[in-house]
Structure 1
Amino acid sequence: MATALKNLSEYELKNSVKIESKTFAIVVAEWNADVTEKLYEGAYATLIKEGAKPENIIRKNVPGSFELSLGAQWMAARNEIDAVICLGCVIQGDTKHFDFICQAVAQGITNVSLKYSKPVIFGVLTPNTQEQALDRAGGKHGNKGDEAAVTAIKMLGF
């Protein structure tokens, strides 16, 4: 497992873009809120730590991870938005629903990024269990929200 070898909250920003004037949208899935709220807290704190202004961080909620793509598209369509961070959590269940949702979300977020030529970041956990999700939402493997925010910053400096 990749996160067993790397903490999601550890990062180094080399030659990073200054983000004081950048505007970020964070689209958060309400499903699995105990996890996604922690992802949001990590992303928000990292953006602030790296210089983003609180008034330039816009949060929008969507019902679940499947809706992240459309929420991201609505935000990416706004000229003032420089990057979109999508945060969600889809936990493996007993049916193929997990596979369909994960594939659709990954493809949808990719499509939005390409359509608008903006960073649209995939901060979606796809663990097997609730415990694994919490381990990656501020637990023993760090916080995927931190990693998503850093990815947005790095892409803005591309």
Structure 2
Amino acid sequence: MKGIETPEYNAAILAGKRIAIVVTRWNTFIVDNLLAGAKKHLTENGIEEANIELIMCPGAYEIPLACQHVAASKQYDAIITLGAVIRGGTPHFEYVAGECSSGVMRVSLDTGMPIAFGVLTVDNEQQALERCGVGENAENKGEESAACVLEMLCVIGSLNS
């Protein structure tokens, strides 16, 4: 599996940060691998396991609403979204993937909260497997999403200090 290049995080900024991970119930094998990668990266980089909250939602279409409520709770400093939308033979893929992506961005901009978009939008199951850490050319987009959210917490933290 390919590793990701991550910056040096500011441990003082990340100390005590609480991260919500919003995860879909669809494509569980893929999503479980994304979740494992995200949690591993967070804990290896100073986020205590007790400060990581898993929030399940039905599917990718529901992720933005879940994120909106997570942000409104004011209990978390950042959100990671994880899911997998795999193209099928109908236009359903475009509606779900597009609305999920734009909804997550809207919540992030409206709240100022870092939200990492770790929802795979792929053409087939093989692409999903490669992006969740399975296979010889695999990478884990869950890990990358965790890296993204930690870096954004550091960027925002340094701008506001």
- TM-score (normalizing by structure 2): 0.90
More helix by share: 2
The answer to whether residue 88 in structure 2 is matched with residue 83 in structure 1 is no
Q: Give the C-alpha shift of residue 74 in structure 1.
A: 1.1
The answer to whether residue 5 in structure 2 is matched with residue 11 in structure 1 is yes
Which of the numbers 67, 83, 88 marks the counterpart of 2:62? 67
Q: Give the C-alpha shift of residue 153 in structure 1.
A: 0.3
- 1:92 aligns to what? 87
The answer to whether residue 138 in structure 2 is matched with residue 141 in structure 1 is yes
1:18-37 correspondence runs (5 A): 18=11, 19-37=14-32
Is this contact kept in 2: 1:17–1:153, CA < 8 A?
A: no
The answer to whether residue 104 in structure 2 is matched with residue 109 in structure 1 is yes
Give a deviation string over 1:90-133, Cα, whole Å, max 9, x none: 00111111011111001000011011101011101011111110
> How many residues are paired up?
151
2: CA distance, partners of 1:141 / 1:75? 31
Moved over 6 A (4+): none
Q: Please report the RMSD computed on the Cα atoms of aligned residues, expressed in angstroms.
A: 1.3
- 1:3 aligns to what? none
Which of the numbers 108, 121, 127 marks the counterpart of 1:126? 121
Q: Give the C-alpha shift of residue 68 in structure 1.
A: 0.8
Give a deviation string over 1:55-81, Cα, whole Å, max 9, x none: 100000001111111111111112231
The answer to whether residue 43 in structure 2 is matched with residue 42 in structure 1 is no
Q: Secondary structure at the match of 1:90?
A: strand
Structure 1 residue identity aligned to 2:118: G
Q: Secondary structure at the match of 2:116?
A: strand
Is this contact kept in 2: 1:127–1:133, CA < 8 A?
A: yes
2: CA distance, partners of 1:95 / 1:17? 45
Q: Secondary structure at the match of 2:7?
A: coil
2: CA distance, partners of 1:141 / 1:106? 23
The answer to whether residue 151 in structure 2 is matched with residue 154 in structure 1 is yes
1: CA distance, partners of 2:32 / 2:6? 24
1: CA distance, partners of 2:15 / 2:45? 8
Structure 1 gaps of 5+ residues are 1-6
Q: Give the C-alpha shift of residue 10 in structure 1.
A: 1.1
